[in-house]
Amino acid sequence: MAPPAVNAAWAEPPGGEPAFAVPPGYPVAGYRIGERIGAGGWGSVYAAHRAPQEPGGPLPEVAAVKFLHPGRLGPGQRHTVLQVARSEMRFSRRADHPHLIRTLAVLTLADPDHPELDGAVVLVMERAARSLQDVLAAARPPEPPPDADRILAEIAAGLRHMHTAGWVHGDLKPGNVLLMPDGTAKLADFGLTAELEGTHAYAPPLGSPDHVPPEWWSQRTGARGVALRTSADLWAYGVLAHQVLTGGLHPFLGATARARSLAALAYARGSAPLRLDAGLPERWRPLVAACLTADRQRRAQLDLAALLATALGGPGAGAGMSVGAGVGGDTPGAGRVPRRGRRRSRPVVGAAVLLTGAAALLQLTGAPEPSVGASTVAAPPPARPGAIPRDADVPAALRGPIEDAARRCPEAEITPALLAAMLKAESGFDPAAARPATGEYGVAMWTPSVFNAWAQDADHDGVKSYLDPDDAIAAMGGYVCWLGQRFKEQGYLPAELPALVTAGYRSSEKTVAEARGVPARWITHVTRVLGYLAEYGGGGVAGP
Ligand SMILES: Nc1ncnc2c1ncn2[C@@H]1O[C@H](COP(=O)(O)OP(=O)(O)OP(=O)(O)O)[C@@H](O)[C@H]1O
Q: What is the DSSP letter of 53?
A: T
Whole-number Å distance between alpha carbons of 4 and 276: 28
For domain 8-127, give the CATH number.
Answer: 3.30.200.20
> Ligand 1 in contact with 128 (CB < 6 A)?
yes
Q: Is 66 flagged in the annotation as binding? A: yes
Domain boundaries, the chain: 8-127, 131-329, 357-539
Number of the ligand 1 atom closest to the C-alpha atom of 133 = 31
Cis peptide before 142 (omega within 30 of 0): yes
Ligand 1 and 132: CB distance under 6 A: no
Q: Which CATH architecture group holds 131-329?
A: Orthogonal Bundle (1.10)
Q: HSE, CB side, 13 Å, CA atoms: give it for residue 217.
A: 17
Substitution candidate for ligand 1 out of 20, 88, 103, 131 with most atoms within 8 A of CB: 131
For ligand 1, whether the C-beta of 178 sits within 6 Å is yes
Each residue's pLDDT tens digit in the chain (544 positions)? 343 433 322 233 333 444 578 999 999 999 999 999 998 777 899 999 998 866 666 789 999 999 987 655 565 566 667 777 778 777 877 777 899 998 888 888 888 888 888 888 888 999 999 999 999 999 999 999 999 999 999 999 999 999 988 999 999 999 999 999 999 999 999 888 888 888 888 887 778 899 999 999 887 777 777 888 999 999 999 999 999 999 999 999 888 888 899 999 999 999 999 999 999 999 999 999 999 999 999 999 998 888 988 999 854 444 334 333 332 334 333 232 222 232 332 222 222 222 222 222 222 222 222 222 222 222 333 334 789 999 999 999 999 999 888 887 777 889 999 999 999 999 999 999 999 888 999 999 999 988 888 887 888 788 889 999 999 999 999 999 889 988 988 888 888 899 999 999 999 999 999 999 999 899 899 988 998 998 898 766 677 7
Residue nearest to atom 15 of ligand 1 (CA): 40
CA pair distance 124, 11, nearest whole angstrom = 23
CATH fold label, 357-539: Lysozyme (1.10.530)
> Amino acid letter at 13?
P
Q: Summarize pLDDT for 186-222 with one digit per residue, the tens.
A: 999 988 888 888 888 888 777 889 999 999 988 777 7
pTM of the model: 0.61
* Ligand 1, atom 18: closest residue by C-alpha: 40
Ligand 1 contact, 207 CB (< 6 A): no
Q: Which helix (H) or strand (E) holds 470?
A: helix 469-489
Taken in order 391, 393, 396, 401, is the CA torsion positive or negative?
A: negative
Ligand 1 near 189 CB (within 6 A):
yes
* Rounded Cα distance, 185 and 58, in Å: 23
Cβ neighbours of residue 139 closer than 8 Å, sequence gap 6 or more: 145, 247, 248
Per-residue pLDDT tens digits for 253-267: 888 888 899 999 999
Q: Residue whose CA is closest, atom 16 of ligand 1?
A: 40
Q: Are the C-beta atoms of 109 and 26 separated by less than 8 Å?
A: no
Q: What is the DSSP string of 190-245?
A: -TT-EE-BTTBEEE-S---TTTS-GGGGGPPBBTTBEEE-HHHHHHHHHHHHHHHH
d(CA 506, CA 124): 23
